[in-house]
Amino acid sequence: MSSTFHFFVFILEYQVNPYHTRQFNYLKNLDIIMKTDILKAPRQLFPLVRHLSYRLTPLLLKTPITPNQITAISLSLGLLCALCFISSNYIVGVIGALLLTMSYAFDNCDGEVARVKNMSSEFGAKFDDISDWMVDASFFAALGYGTSQVMNQSLWFWFGCAAAVGAFIDYVVDLFYHAKNKEKEDSLSREEVAVKGKKPEDTLDWFIYIVHKLSRADFCIIVLVLAIFNITWILLPFAAIGAQFYWIADLFDRARGYHT
C-alpha cells in the first residue's frame, strides 16, 4: 500500500509540477544555499521542531527528492504513528511519538526544500494542508481508540473523535481563508507569507504565537514527552476542547502568519 501511495504521489507531481524536468546542481552550491535566509539557524527557541528540520533540510537538498515527495514521507510517518497509538503497548507508543516527531520535521522540510529549489506550487501547498489534517485527525482518533480500550470507557474515544473533527474544521477554515485571500489584490501569496511572515509585537501577540507553536508546530514534542512518561491519554480532554479553540482562532488574521 505504501508503494502504491508513493507511486500515486509521483504521478500527480509529474503531471502538476512544472519543474519535474529541471536539473539542480545543489552539491556544488550548497555552501551558498546554506547562507540564505531560508536555511539560517533558528534564532528563537520556538518552534523546537525547527531545530530538527534545519539540520535535515541540507541533507535532503543533496538528494533528487522533491518537496511533494517529502510531504508524502511526512504523511506516511504520521499515519504510521497513528497505527502505533492504537496499541496500548508502552514501547510502541514511544516509537509512535518518535515517528510523529519525524513527521513534523519532514513537514517543515518540504517548504524549505521547495523554496531553495524554486519548486513551490499550488498543488504542493494543498497537498501539505491535507497531509497535516490527515496526520492530526488520525493521531487523535487512534489515541482515543487505544485509550478507550485500555480504560474500558468509550468516553476517551469520543474525546479523540472531537479533536479529530476540530482538526477537520480547521482544515476547512484554512481552505476558505486561502480562497478568500486569493481574491484580494494586495494580499500576500502563501509563499510570501511563509518567507516573510510577521513577528509578535506585544504581549498578546507573543501569547498567541507561543500557544500556536506548542499546539501545532511543537505538538509532536509534547506527545513525545508524554509518551515517555506513559501519560499520552491526558491530551485527549484538552485536545477535544483545544481543537475547537484552534479553528476559531484561525478565523482571525491576528492568529495567522507568525514567523520568527
For the domain that residue 69 is a member of, what is the CATH number? Answer: 1.20.120.1760
- Answer yes or no: is 83 within a domain: yes
* Cα–Cα distance measured from residue 149 to residue 110, given in angstroms and rounded to the nearest whole number: 36
- Our count of domains for the chain comes to 1
- Answer yes or no: is 249 within a domain: yes
Nearest CA to 141 out of 247, 34, 239 is that of 239
Spell out the per-residue pLDDT of the chain, length 260, in tens: 444 454 444 444 444 444 444 444 444 455 545 545 556 777 777 678 888 888 899 999 999 999 999 999 999 999 999 999 998 899 999 999 999 999 999 999 998 899 888 898 889 999 999 999 999 999 999 999 999 999 999 999 999 999 999 999 999 998 888 888 776 655 655 555 555 566 777 787 777 777 666 677 789 999 999 999 999 999 999 999 999 988 888 887 766 666 54
Q: Which residue has the cell 489584490?
A: 185
The pLDDT, as a whole number, for residue 39 is 65
- Answer yes or no: is 260 within a domain: no
The pLDDT, as a whole number, for residue 64 is 93
What range does the domain containing 81 cover? 2-255
- Answer yes or no: is 166 within a domain: yes
- Answer yes or no: is 186 within a domain: yes
- Answer yes or no: is 246 within a domain: yes
